[in-house]
Structure formats: structure tokens, C-alpha cells
Amino acid sequence: MSANYTFANYQKVVISLYEEKKTNGSLPLGPLEMTPAKLRDECIRVCQERPDDNDISTLRLFFGPGENIWSYQNIIEDGDIEKFKPLINYLRGSTRSTNTINIELLAWLIDFAPRPYNKWEIESRSNNRENTTDRVETPITSKPQELTPPNQNESEKISDNNEIEESAEKTNYQSETAYTEEKNEHVLDAVKTSNEVNIPKTTFFTPPPKKPWFKRNIKQTALSLMAATTLCGGTYMVAYNGSQGCMYWTGDRYKSVPCQEKVEGATVLALDSAKLLNFRKINVPDTLTISSINNLWYTKITVDSAEFYTGSGFHPLFPEKRLKPVTPYILNKYVLNK
């Protein structure tokens, strides 16, 4: 049974999930379009979108030691992309085998669970023990009772019991009918007595008193005010966008400008209200603190310098550079230890 938990079997189920995702198109990269640079970028994306401390052991074996899960974004970005080639060659079928760490990296990339191998082995053994326990059956020792026809006396008793039950049902039905008729007679007598003594009629559904006009119309008035406000705001925005419908980067923020206007040394872009109001470059990185982690964004312009911004997206002047959340590693390297 131990052969079922070897790394070879673990590799088979990982590759099986990879082939399944490749077939249904849920992989971001196919083996033919996969390059070392693209695979590196995919590793960075996975590290950003689903960081998990349980994956540190796999990342440490492939990329080297890191302080925490967030530090691997920069370690991967600065690392040698040639190390991805063996996995690419294996997935393309150029090689028939590959190192175990490449299989572990693939399991992490495709979100195979449970991973890594040692965790898969433990859970597989546990599941196998549970299934084995469930299959244990309790032997049947008692014989089924034989069915024997009732004797004549028992048949007569059953017949007598049935007659008694039928008689009781008839008696109950007659009693209930008599009670209902008697009750109806009492109701009729009560109605007649009511008419004779002229008991005033009772109104059961009295309409509620009307509310004052301002209370009845307060909801309608509020809705009308909201509609008017929305209409005025929309009219203002249309007029504003007609005259200031574009923006350009000033160096540390976006500034609105008419679309037909040309700004020397700047690219005029379509107006993005969120970026116009909230996107800023932080010119004094020394003001950053630990609270900036995952609340601010950065990109590296050179190997030894980084720029920090208040919003996500891409660099205003270099759109090929993606802005990433600030990590403890970046904060220490470019701010606190400068």
C-alpha cells in the first residue's frame, strides 16, 4: 500500500490537474506560449493574488531563502529566469522527467491541493484509513423470523376488533354531527336574540384616519428631491466633461484639461475621475511607515530606486511597468534602510 503514496503518484495527480486545466482553458499560459519571462511574471502574479505561508517551503527550495511570503515578489522579479527552462521543457514534452522541485512549483502555480508532497502524503494516508474503516461490515448472526399464518381464533379476534372499530367510528361520527347541529341552533338563536334587542352592529374593518398631507407626501417629496439632485449633478458632469473631459500627468498628479488642448511634453488622456482625485506620487518616501504596507504601491525605475504612489495600476509615464503593493521587503530596502 505504501507505493500509492510515492512522489511518482503525487506527480501523476499534479500533471493530471495541469492537463485538465489546459484542456478547459483555465490556464493563463499554455506550454507552447510559455517562456521563462512569462513564467516569472505568472509566479509574481500568483504570489500577489494568493499569498500563503504554507507555500514558503516550496518557494524557498526554488527561489532561495526569503523573510516572508511577501518578500518573494521581489526575489522572483530579481532572480535568474533561466531556472524556469527545465519545467517548460518538461511541460512541452522535450524531456521525459524533471526535478521534484519543478513539480512542486507547478503544483503551486496551478493551485493543486493538498500541497506540497509531504502534506498530500499525510492526507492521502488518512483518507485511505477512513475509507478502510467504513468498509468493515458487521456479520449477520440472527436468522430471519419465519412468517406463520394466524390460527382460526386469531382471525376471529381480528374480525371482532374490526367490527368494534367500525362501530366506534360510526358512534363518533354521529356524536360530532349532533354536536355540530346543536351548535348551529345556538348560533341562530343568538342572532335572533341580537336582532330583537337591537344590539348595534360592530364594524370590524375600520379604516385608519388619514395622515396629514405633509406626512403622506414626505416619501414622495424625498424621492423627487433625490431625482432633481441626480439630474442636476448629471447635467453638471456632462457640462464639465465637455470642457474638461481629459487629463494629463504633471509629474506627481493628474490635472484636468479640455480634450482639444495640447500640453507640451505630456500625453493628454481621457478623464478618469478616480485617478484625478486620488492618484498621487509620493515625492518624500521618507514619510512612509509600516502602515504603508499593502496600502501604497510602488514600481522600480532602476535597480537601486523605487517610486511610490497612492493608487494601483500602471506607471503614468511607463505604462509597461505595473504598480505593486508595498511589501516589508521593499519598505526596508528602499525607505527604512536607506
How many Cβ atoms from other residues are within 10 Å of residue 327's Cβ? 23
Q: Note down the domain range covering 122.
A: 2-131
CA pseudo-torsion sign 286, 302, 41, 75 = negative
Last residue of a domain, one of 225, 244, 273: 273
Do residues 308 and 284 make contact, with C-beta atoms less than 8 angstroms apart?
Answer: no
> Which of 131, 153, 188 is the C-terminal boundary of a domain?
131
List, as own/partner pairs, every contact residues 236-245 make where C-beta atoms lie below 8 angstroms and the sequence separation is at least 24, other chains included. Answer: 241/271, 244/271, 245/270, 245/271
User: Do 34 and 92 sit in the same domain of this protein?
Assistant: yes
Whether 100 and 30 map to the same domain: the answer is yes
Asked if 86 contacts 80 with a C-beta cutoff of 8 angstroms, the reply is: no
Looking up cell 506620487 gives: 281
131-135, 136-140, 331-335 — which is least confidently predicted? 136-140
Question: What mean pLDDT comes out for the span 67-85?
Answer: 91
Question: What pLDDT, on the 0 to 100 scale, is given for residue 201?
Answer: 41
Cell 535597480 -> residue: 303
What whole-number distance in Å separates Cα of residue 292 and Cα of residue 286?
Answer: 11
Residues 23 and 101 in one domain: yes
Q: How far apart are the first and last CA of the chain?
A: 57
336 and 227 in one domain? no
Residue 201 lies in a domain: no
Q: Give the pLDDT mean for 167-192.
A: 45
Cell of 90: 518538461
| Position 290 pLDDT exceeds 80 | yes
238 and 264: one domain?
Answer: yes
Return the SS3 of 307. Answer: strand
Question: Quick one: which of 323, 217, 242, 245 has its CA closest to 279?
Answer: 323
- 309 part of a folded domain: yes
Examine residue 39 and state whether it is found in any structural domain, yes or no. yes
**What φ, ψ does residue 32 adopt, rounded to 5°?**
-75, -35
DSSP state of 335: I
Confidence of residue 293 (pLDDT cuts 50, 70, 90): confident
Same domain, residue pair 234 and 316: no
Of 249, 273, 297, the residue at which a domain comes to its end is 273
Is the per-residue pLDDT at 118 higher than 50?
Answer: yes
Q: Are 246 and 257 in contact (CB under 8 A)?
A: yes
- Residue 327 to residue 113: CA distance in whole angstroms: 26
How far apart, in whole angstroms, are the C-alpha atoms of residue 177 and residue 278? 82
Q: How many CB atoms lie within 10 A of CB 228?
A: 10
pLDDT at 159 exceeding the cut of 50: no
The reply to whether 206 falls in a domain is no
What's the domain count of the chain? 3
Contact 256, 271 (CB under 8 A): yes
One-letter identity of residue 332: N
Give residue for cell 493543486. Answer: 112
Q: How far apart are CA 62 and CA 56, in angstroms?
A: 10
Q: Label residue 322 exposed, middle or buried (CB < 10 Å: 0-12, 13-18, 19+).
A: middle
234 and 314 part of one domain:
no
Note whether residue 77 is domain-resident: yes
pLDDT at 143 over 70: no
- What is the chain's length? 338
Same domain, 109 and 48: yes
| 231 & 330 share domain | no
Cell match 399464518: residue? 149
Residue 286 lies in a domain: yes
The stretch 195-221 carries a mean pLDDT of 47
Q: Both 19 and 112 in a single domain? A: yes
Quote the pLDDT of residue 7: 95
DSSP string across 131-151: HHHHT--PPP-SPPPPP----
Q: Average the pLDDT over each of 25-29, 34-38, 189-193, 300-304 and give the range with the smallest value.
A: 189-193
Indicate if the pLDDT at residue 225 is higher than 80.
no
Mean pLDDT of the chain: 76
pLDDT of residue 132: 66
Instruction: Give the CA radius of gyration of the chain.
Output: 40
